[in-house]
Amino acid sequence: MELGERKKRILQAIVDDYIGTAEPVGSRTIAKKHELGLSSATIRNEMADLEEMGFLQQPHASSGRIPSDLGYRFYVDQLMRRYEFSVEEMSRMRQIMELQIQELDRLILQASEFISKVTQYTTVAVTPKISKSAIKHLQLIPVDLYNILLIFITHAGIVRNKSIRLKQPVSAEFIQKLSAVLDDKLGGLTIEEINLPKIQEIQREMKYNEELLISILNIIADSISDIDKAEVYLGGATNIFNFPEYNQIDKAKELLGFLEERRKLYELFSSHNKDNKITIMIGRENQFEEIKNCSVVMTNYYLGDEVVGTIGIIGPTRMDYAKIVSSLEFLSKNLSRIILKTLRGTDDS
């Protein structure tokens, strides 16, 4: 929808003011605060037109206007100025981001907490399922005759472990030998590439009681399938209480309840278009009813050219979109660099 230049400037002023104050914006405020060269009466008429066109809402008959979802969308797509970090902000963020962590899960968790501190919003980070990630290391550790610990590490640095209960007692020597064979035969493969010929190759090399070996391998295969799941991390979940939109306990409880549903969070963040650097979903553009009054901004992070996961922000529609977009762009670039540096031993170039 096309807007004249005057309407664009007024809409931009209203969105900027409302993001900062959370208070409806009136024509007199715009006339005094912004140098538009327009009278209050002219601004009031333009605001009425913008409301009729669906870009603004008036919460109460005697109050000023606030942006609608459509108004925010137009602002994000056409009016939003790029947020520029100060030298101090950039220096602080770079210091925090220089993380020396070898496990991707811990790295992503720390990054989630970092971005929630920078933006003061709630952060969600999602790692993908590991079925398409190549196995870097697989180890079985004997606990006792009936229990072993399976440790599984992918080339993307994803670490998973699972306790396994065996049906028959097995010696520690056998488990250690099986561990070495599994690591040798399955290293470099994805979970999807572990097939019957590979299992048969392991059986031939082990030269062990076939029935028992098959039983153990089946249990291990089931355990690997169990750990092939996405992980969802939250940062700053209680930050919602910083915003007047959530002073009403019912609204706060609804959003907190949604944040506790990891399946829905995974579904929401998996909807991110992998071709887009930044995705912004405003208000009723979100597919879940619980967050129809929220906006979601998200982006990917990478290992080389491979998408490792998605990270983003959930907050009120009255969020500082410009700062959030700049923060997520900074995070994606630097997190991807750190992942590559940490897991592959490359330099910063």
CATH number at residue 31: 1.10.10.10
Percent of the chain with pLDDT over 70: 87
Mean predicted confidence (pLDDT) in 4-17: 95
Pair 261, 197 in one domain: no
Note the pLDDT of residue 346. 44
Statement: residue 216 has pLDDT above 80: no
Note the pLDDT of residue 349. 41
Mean predicted confidence (pLDDT) in 25-31: 93
Q: Is residue 210 part of a domain?
A: yes
Pair 103, 177 in one domain: no
Q: Is residue 122 part of a domain?
A: yes
**CB proximity list for 276: less than 8 A, separation 6 or greater:** none
Mean predicted confidence (pLDDT) in 272-285: 83
Q: End of a domain among 170, 193, 226?
A: 226
Residue 252 corresponds to which tokens in the numbers above? 């706060």
Mean predicted confidence (pLDDT) in 150-174: 80
Q: Beta strands 159-165 and 231-235: pairing type?
A: unpaired
Q: Is residue 349 part of a domain?
A: no
Statement: residue 61 has pLDDT above 80: no
Provide the residue range defining the domain that includes 21: 5-79
Could you give the number of structural domains in the chain?
Answer: 3
Pair 145, 215 in one domain: yes
Report the CATH number at residue 196.
3.30.390.60
Q: What is the CA radius of gyration of the chain?
A: 26
Pair 247, 340 in one domain: yes
Q: What is the pLDDT of residues 329-349, one digit of tens each?
A: 988 888 888 777 765 554 444
Is the Cβ–Cβ distance between 255 and 291 less than 8 Å? yes
Is the Cβ–Cβ distance between 68 and 27 less than 8 Å? no
Pair 244, 187 in one domain: no
Pair 123, 50 in one domain: no
Q: What is the pLDDT of residues 301-327, one digit of tens each?
A: 877 777 778 899 999 999 999 999 999
At 161, give phi and psi (nearest 5°): -145, 155
Pair 111, 259 in one domain: yes
Q: Is residue 293 part of a domain?
A: yes
Pair 304, 240 in one domain: yes
Q: Is residue 59 part of a domain?
A: yes
Q: Is residue 312 part of a domain?
A: yes
Statement: residue 32 has pLDDT above 80: yes
Residue of 159, 135, 129, 85 lying closest to 334 (CA atoms): 85
Report the CATH number at residue 301.
3.30.450.40
Q: End of a domain among 176, 208, 226?
A: 226
Pair 155, 200 in one domain: yes
Higher pLDDT, 100 or 163: 163
Q: Report the C-alpha gap between 13 and 225 in whole angstroms.
A: 53
Residue 66 corresponds to which tokens in the numbers above? 């606030």
Note the pLDDT of residue 20. 92
Statement: residue 81 has pLDDT above 70: yes
Note the pLDDT of residue 73. 97
Mean predicted confidence (pLDDT) in 66-80: 96
Q: End of a domain among 226, 241, 256?
A: 226
Is the Cβ–Cβ distance between 274 and 300 less than 8 Å? yes
Is the Cβ–Cβ distance between 173 and 184 less than 8 Å? no
Is the Cβ–Cβ distance between 314 and 121 less than 8 Å? yes
Amino acid residing at 6:
R
Q: Report the C-alpha gap between 195 and 217 in whole angstroms.
A: 12
Note the pLDDT of residue 348. 46
Q: Is residue 163 part of a domain?
A: yes
Higher pLDDT, 73 or 127: 73
Question: Among the residues of 120-274, which ranges form H helices?
Answer: 172-186, 196-206, 210-226, 249-259, 262-270
Is the Cβ–Cβ distance between 274 and 135 less than 8 Å? no
Q: Report the C-alpha gap between 74 and 338 in whole angstroms.
A: 35
What does the H/E/C string look like for 2-17? CCCHHHHHHHHHHHHH
Pair 102, 205 in one domain: no
Mean predicted confidence (pLDDT) in 145-163: 79
Of the CA atoms within 13 Å of residue 316, those in its CB half-sphere come to 21
Q: Is residue 260 part of a domain?
A: yes
Pair 189, 68 in one domain: no
Pair 176, 259 in one domain: no
Is the Cβ–Cβ distance between 135 and 146 less than 8 Å? no
* Residue 132 banded pLDDT, cuts 50, 70, 90: low
Mean pLDDT of the chain: 84
Note the pLDDT of residue 307. 76
What is the edge-to-edge ordering of all strands in the sheet holding 147-154? 135-142, 147-154, 159-165
**Per-residue exposure over 257-270, b if at least 16 CB sit within 10 Å of its own CB, e if not:** ebbeebebbbebbe
* Continuous segment of H or E residues that includes residue 150: strand 147-154
Q: What is the pLDDT of residues 99-121, one digit of tens each?
A: 655 566 777 888 888 889 888 99
At 158, give phi and psi (nearest 5°): -75, 125
